[in-house]
Amino acid sequence: DADVTQTPRNRITKTGKRIMLECSQTKGHDRMYWYRQDPGLGLRLIYYSFDVKDINKGEISDGYSVSRQAQAKFSLSLESAIPNQTALYFCATSRDGQYDTQYFGPGTRLTVL
Amino acid sequence: RKEVEQDPGPFNVPEGATVAFNCTYSNSASQSFFWYRQDCRKEPKLLMSVYSSGNEDGRFTAQLNRASQYISLLIRDSKLSDSATYLCVVKNRGSTLGRLYFGRGTQLTVWP
């Protein structure tokens, strides 16, 4: 089984709809992250959480919210989806050592019509 | 200025070729460095960490020059399976400890 899972893997929705993307991990990591990836722009950080009680905004948090329900779960919500939120969304986890890097989920491809 | 800058490529090389990617970072306090590989429409995966003394993993060699704030990745004897996008990644100190900064990636295509 994958260590970091994301649901759904693909989603098509309409402008104005509320969408939730979910991420779960079995790696036992405290830190979790949400990124979006757009062609030519690379990965951009939306939100990150260093533990259940710690939530931080990333570079592009406007239009998004998150919930850290447990150490293993970190959800991303689009309260009112708009077309420019069409992107590939990745969840990632990490420990907190100097050389600890991040492990990514398989991604959610979101299309907002 | 972006935290991490990479030449986007694309690099198109024949099998067996040697290819090098470069990356610069803007924050002199950057703490750790990595190369990730990303296949089309897939998640990024760690290729290798980059240590101060440079390090090698099979056909892959990573170098770090802190004075010039420069990181490189050398791939020898390229294989078709090396075709992917390579992401340069930097980790900083300070209040955002643990946060990674990603370059936009360098696209590599290895042809037969």
Residue B6, pLDDT score: 93
Of B31, B44, B105, the CB nearest to A104: B44
Backbone torsions φ then ψ of B34, nearest 5 degrees = -145, 155
**Residues 29 through 68 of chain B touching chain A, CB cutoff 8 Å:** 31-32, 34, 41-46, 49
Residues whose CB falls within 8 Å of the CB of residue B103, separated by 6 or more in sequence, listed in order: A42, B2, B4, B5, B6, B23, B87, B88, B89
Which amino acid type is present at position B92?
N
Question: Between chains, do A99 and B87 touch, taking CB under 8 Å as contact?
Answer: no
Which residue of chain A has the CA closest to B9? A40
What pLDDT is attached to residue A49?
A: 93
A91 — pLDDT class (breaks 50, 70, 90): very high
**Predicted local distance difference test score (pLDDT) of residue A72:** 95
The pair of three-digit structure tokens given for residue A58, joined into one six-digit string: 């990333």
- Which stretches of chain B score pLDDT less than 70? 1, 93-98
Give phi and psi for B33, each to the nearest 5: -140, 145
Give the closest of B45, B99, B104 to A48, CB-based.
Answer: B99
Nearest-Cα distance to chain A for B76, in Å, is 25
**Residue A58 and residue B48: Cα distance in Å, rounded?**
25
In the structure, what pLDDT confidence band is assigned to residue A101 with cuts at 50, 70 and 90? confident
Does residue A42 carry a pLDDT above 80?
Answer: yes
Q: Find which of B49, B90, B99 to mutate to test the A interface (most A CBs within 10 Å of its CB).
A: B99
A43 CB near a chain B CB, below 8 Å?
yes
Look at residue A99 in the predicted model and tell me its pLDDT: 67
Dihedral angle of Cα A58, A60, A63, A64, to the nearest 10 degrees: -30
Distance from the Cα of B80 to chain A's closest Cα (Å) equals 23
Express each pLDDT in A44-75 by its tens digit. 999 999 888 899 999 899 999 999 999 999 99
Q: Looking at CA atoms only, how far is residue A108 from chain B in angstroms?
A: 10
Q: pLDDT class for A95, splitting at 50, 70, 90?
A: confident
